[in-house]
Structure 1
Amino acid sequence: MGPTVNGAPARSRSYDARRRQEAAEESRKRVLAQSRALFLDRGYGRTTIAAIAHAAGVSKESVYKGFGGKPGLVRAIYEQSLLGAGGPPAEERSDRAQVTVMDPRELMEQFGRFVTEISPLGSPVYLLIRDAAASGDHDMAALLRDVDDERYQRMLHNARQVLGRGFLRRGLTADEVADVMFLSTSAELYETLVLKRGWSAERFGRLVARTLAANLLPEG
């Protein structure tokens, strides 16, 4: 007989623990998927934890336990969006491109492709946060400040990385480069061109790539 834990086979205990973890992860994915669908369809204020729990097939208590309420759910949805469409996280892939791509214009095009992938996922959630904050919700106002600061810090990281490669126009500071990146990848620009003017995400991404190249790379 194999080793036991409190009288039960250790292998069985390990298997049961893995199954519980898998079930918990599947439940989390359902909650996030249903939360995203309901928030974007109904808006922040009209979406309830009860409706999310019912749609996901879980209890309200489990949603509160896992996410702490609606603000935590929206943050989780937003952070999930930044991972990209699948595979390694988009941030990880971006960092790899910044140190391996040898041609500056190709790197700008890579940035455009990341925007094409991430903006349709993240921008609608950002706009949800912005609109809820504008309505007077203090939790969403705090979250808006957080996500703006986190996005700017990410752009500053990108700026320092690319400046370190010697790719950019002379005289640019990291803050100036980060500002161009922050503006070019904003949800507000996505809202204007894609949601209001009907551009495709691909066209939007190409514009971002051209904008970055025109403003950051040496002429010629």
Structure 2
Amino acid sequence: MGPAVNGASPRSRSYDARRRQEAAEQSRKRVLAESRGLFLAKGYGRTTIAAIAHAAGVSKESVYKGFGGKPGLVRAIYEQSLLGAGGPPAEERSDRAQATVADPRELMEQFGRFVAEISPLGSPVYLLIRDAAASGDQDMAALLRDVDDERYQRMLHNARQVLGRGFLRPDLRVEEVADVMFMGTSAEFYETLVLKRGWTAERFGRLIARTLAANLLPDSGG
């Protein structure tokens, strides 16, 4: 075998590349964690890229390069929240439950557990976006429209999946099902009961499960 280019073997170059990727991923995670904490503690307007970079131990330039500025950071934090608390992404687990759970009421309970898992992560970030948009920030207003549309499209997907299995009342249209799910996953609903009234996330999730069952399942009083 001939000599390695620049004195480095292919194996060592591969190892170095992997280490750089791992370091970059760890840096990204630090930036997201620190920016989440600062945004939620200080608000969108008062949080600066300089403060985030300092807290994460990186340069301002690397934050701009990685996220494009504060709007990109907030979107990345929100999207990270939707993954759930760990393991496979929550969306993937939800799709699997919709395809495999045999009992309709158990599926509604699964939906409630997903809401209890994701809402404490995603709702505070959504409320940050909403409040910044209300203050007149046009980037946040555009992001608010995007996340609302993306969430509704996800609820339409869920509605089609569950209707397709024959679980729901036959008089329901897919848009009605999506609307009920959209309401149940709203940050405003979470804000009212958990943040203002002190409910636990688990109690909130159980309410969502009962609400979905009552409004969507046959002979459930909906």
- TM tier, smaller: over 0.9
How many Å apart are 1:184 and its aligned residue?
Answer: 1.1
| Aligned counterpart, 1:51 | 51
Identical aligned pairs, as a percentage? 89
> How far is the alpha carbon of 1:185 from its aligned partner?
1.1
Give the C-alpha shift of residue 5 in structure 1: 3.6
Match of 1:38 in 2: 38
**Within-5 A mapping of 1:60-209:** 60-209=60-209
Q: Deviations over 1:39-88 (max 9, x none)?
A: 00000000000000000000000000000000000000000000000000
Q: Could you list the runs of 5+ residues in structure 1 that have no partner in the other structure?
A: none
Once the two structures are superposed, residues 129-188 of structure 1 have per-residue CA deviations (whole angstroms, 9 ceiling, x without a partner) of 000000000000000000000000000000000000000001101100000000011000
Runs of 4+ in structure 1 off by over 3 angstroms are: none
Code of the residue aligned with 1:158 in structure 2: it is: N
Within 2, Cα distance between the matches of 1:3 and 1:197?
70
Contact persistence 1:3–1:10 (CA under 8 A): no
Partner Cα distance (2:187, 2:137) in 1: 20
Q: Distance in 2 between matches of 1:187 and 1:2?
A: 61
Distance change (3 Å), C-alpha of 1:36 and 1:171: same
Residues in 2 aligned to 1:2 and 1:167: alpha-carbon distance in whole angstroms: 65
Alpha carbons 1:2, 1:9 under 8 Å: kept: no
Q: Aligned partner of 1:119: which letter?
A: S
- Give the TM-score of the pair, scaled to structure 1: 0.98
Note the C-alpha offset of 1:4: 2.4
Measure the CA separation in 2 of the matches of 1:103 and 1:3. 64
SS at match of 1:78: helix
SS in 2 for 1:172: coil
Partner of 2:214: 214
CA distance in 1, matches of 2:131, 2:215: 30
State the TM-score, normalized to the length of structure 2: 0.97
Question: How far apart are the structure 2 equivalents of 1:135 and 1:84?
Answer: 29
CA distance 1:14–1:3, change in 2 (3 Å): farther
Rounded Cα–Cα distance in structure 2 between residues aligned with 1:41 and 1:3:
55
RMSD in angstroms over aligned alpha carbons?
1.0
Residues 210, 26 of structure 1: CA spacing in aligned structure 2 closer, same or farther, 3 A cutoff?
same
In structure 2, list runs of 5 or more residues that go unmatched.
none
Supply the distance in 2 between the matched residues of 1:118 and 1:137 (Cα, whole angstroms).
Answer: 26
Query: 1-side partners of 2:168 and 2:197: how far apart?
Result: 31
State the 1:7 CA deviation.
Answer: 3.6
User: How many residues align structurally?
Assistant: 220
